[in-house]
Every structure is written in structure tokens, then in C-alpha cells.
Amino acid sequence: MSLYAYSIGDLAKQTGCKVQTIRYYEETGLLAPAVRTAGNQRRYRPEDIDRLAFIRHGRELGFSLDAIRDLLSLSDDPDKPCEQAHDLAKNHLDDVERRLASLNALRDELISMVRRCKRGRTGDCKVIEALADHSHEHCLSDQHTMKTP
């Protein structure tokens, strides 16, 4: 078997990535450019499958492409200290925690709206009333309020 045994289709099947995504990762330098055959087909190595799986897993965890680029760079040099990887993960975790807090506040507001609604006439509907209240006095949290300039 050749060192460059995998087509882009093979790579896509093995990693669950779309062909267009693989091309994009090549264009942006996350994945090394493929070797081209005489017929101009892209060919990849087994290491490319591992790298693409790393990228895909990072994306599934919500890391930005820039963070993944940094993490890949760190993984390419196993003797580097992992402090930077830790910091990238910690910053991402902090961001996730902020988003979760915002989503929890949103959920609580929606629960409150639904519980207050008696399913009567729309003129008496607490959902519509809550949405129409621009003062946000009924709100449990200021997490979702619009910021005015």
C-alpha cells in the first residue's frame, strides 16, 4: 500500500467529514495540502486521517478553528509544556459556562411565561403580555434584555 493511499472520498468516509470541509481545511492550512496524482487527484496519508479526526473532535467540542490551529501546533511538538493547551481549554470552558448561564436564564423566563399563561383569550395571554412589556419588569433576569445604545 502506498504511503499516500487515501483519496479525499476515503478520508471523508473514515472521518465523517464532508469533502468540501476537507478542502477548506487544506486551504486554511489546518490540513497539509494533499499530494496530487498524475490525474490531479488528491491523495492522503494515514496521519491525515488522525489530524482530520483531531480537527473534527475539536469542532464537535466547540473550539474555534484558530484554537484548533493552536492546539494542532502544540500537538506537533510533544516536548512543549501544555500550559497553552490548558489555557485554551479553560477559556473555552469559561465561554461555555457563560452561554449556559444565559440559556438557563432564558429557560427560566420561558417557564415563567408558560406557567402564567392560562390559555384563554389572546387579549389576556401572559405570553403576549410578557413579550409586549418593553420595561422587562416581569423578567427574572437581565441576561436576555436588549442593550440600548
- The C-alpha cell of 101 is what? 448561564
pLDDT band at 33 (very low <50, low <70, confident <90, very high): very high
Q: Are residues 20 and 52 in the same domain?
A: yes
Q: Are residues 70 and 87 in the same domain?
A: no
Please count the structural domains in the chain.
Answer: 2
What is the CB-side half-sphere exposure of residue 31 using CA atoms within 13 A? 30
Q: Are residues 43 and 70 in the same domain?
A: yes
Q: What is the pLDDT of residues 59-112, one digit of tens each?
A: 999 999 999 999 999 999 999 999 999 999 999 999 999 999 999 999 998 898
Query: Is residue 139 domain-resident?
Result: no
Query: Is residue 125 domain-resident?
Result: yes
Determine the Cα–Cα distance for residues 63 and 68; give it in Å rounded to an integer: 6
Strands 35-36 and 42-43: antiparallel
Determine the Cα–Cα distance for residues 129 and 78; give it in Å rounded to an integer: 59
3-state secondary structure of 35: strand
Q: Are residues 67 and 50 in the same domain?
A: yes
Q: Are residues 128 and 92 in the same domain?
A: yes
Query: What pLDDT sits at residue 2?
Result: 65
Best mean pLDDT range from 31-35, 93-97, 123-127: 93-97
Determine the Cα–Cα distance for residues 64 and 66; give it in Å rounded to an integer: 5
Query: Is the Cβ–Cβ distance between 13 and 53 less than 8 Å?
Result: no
Domain span at 26: 8-75
Q: Are residues 70 and 89 in the same domain?
A: no
Q: Are residues 65 and 16 in the same domain?
A: yes
Determine the Cα–Cα distance for residues 126 and 130; give it in Å rounded to an integer: 6
- The C-alpha cell of 95 is what? 465561554
Q: Are residues 60 and 104 in the same domain?
A: no
Task: Tell me: pLDDT of 31 over 50.
Answer: yes
Query: Is residue 146 domain-resident?
Result: no
CATH of the domain at 63: 1.10.1660.10
